[in-house]
């Protein structure tokens, strides 16, 4: 059995200490094309009941395009909320320029005779987590964000979602500019129970 599934203590060490980096602290450079292909290959290696691949990727790398996205998000925010304060406007303008690479993970879960939509959506979440872990394990900084534009139809369409699709999130990837701060983690006794028949 050991030969089939050897222990990987270095993987356990990594997972026990993994920490996302705030997108505001991510700088360049980001992964090159070959590195990105490797990260996406790992990201797609997730539980996927029925082999449906109910997710896909959209890459946002070009700086001019990412700047244009910020301009459009600011326009959409102003259209729904009125004139933005300067600080809020700058926040919208910089949404996609914080890190040198942003990967949109699109959930394309659909009604299936055997596989629940919820299960397909969970698979898309697993893709996001795999991509984060692959980036961090490769020495990059990364953060998974789902801001208002994940759930706004006009913004999602502009960002590349098609009919029946929605974003599971956006993974910002680049180089760390500082060590990420640790945060409080759940106490196991608060989140673990043992089933007993009533």
Instruction: Count CA atoms within 13 Å of residue 174 on its CB side.
Output: 22
Tell me whether residue 169 is in a domain: yes
For residue 65, give the 3-state DSSP assignment: helix
Tell me whether residue 145 is in a domain: yes
For residue 85, give the 3-state DSSP assignment: coil
Q: Where residue 150 sits, what CATH number does that domain have?
A: 3.40.109.10
CA distance 163 to 36: 27
Q: Which domain holds residue 170?
A: 21-61+98-177
Tell me whether residue 87 is in a domain: no
Q: Which residues neighbour 75 within 8 Å (Cβ) at sequence distance 6 or greater?
A: none
Tokens of residue 142, six digits: 């990364």
Domain count of the fold of the chain: 1
CA-based radius of gyration for the chain: 19
**Residues annotated as binding site?**
18-20, 45, 49, 144-146
| Model pTM above 0.75 | yes
**Residues annotated as binding site for FMN?**
18-20, 45, 49, 144-146
Tell me whether residue 78 is in a domain: no
Contact between 76 and 95 (Cβ < 8 Å): no
pLDDT tens across 3-47, in order?
788 899 999 999 999 999 999 999 999 999 999 999 999 999 999
Tell me whether residue 8 is in a domain: no
Tokens of residue 193, six digits: 């129970």
Flag whether pLDDT at 198 surpasses 90: no
Tell me whether residue 159 is in a domain: yes
């Amino acid at each position: 059995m050991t030969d089939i599934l050897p222990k990987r203590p270095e993987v356990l060490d990594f997972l026990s200490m993994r920490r996302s980096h705030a997108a505001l602290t991510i700088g360049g450079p980001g992964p090159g094309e070959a590195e990105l292909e490797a990260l996406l290959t790992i990201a797609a290696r997730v539980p996927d009941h029925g082999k449906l691949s109910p997710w896909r990727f959209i890459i946002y790398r070009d700086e001019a395009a990412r700047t244009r996205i910020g301009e459009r998000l600011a326009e959409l925010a102003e259209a729904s909320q009125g004139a933005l304060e300067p600080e809020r406007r700058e926040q919208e303008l910089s949404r996609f320029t914080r890190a040198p690479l942003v990967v949109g993970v699109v959930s394309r879960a659909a009604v299936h005779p055997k596989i629940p939509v919820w299960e397909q959506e969970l698979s898309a979440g697993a893709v996001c987590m795999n991509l984060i872990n692959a980036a961090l394990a490769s020495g990059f900084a990364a953060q998974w964000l789902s801001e208002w534009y994940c759930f706004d139809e006009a913004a999602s369409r502009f960002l590349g979602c098609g009919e029946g699709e929605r974003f599971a999130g956006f993974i910002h990837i680049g180089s760390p500019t500082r060590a990420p701060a640790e945060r409080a983690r759940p106490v196991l006794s608060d989140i673990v129970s043992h089933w007993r028949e009533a």
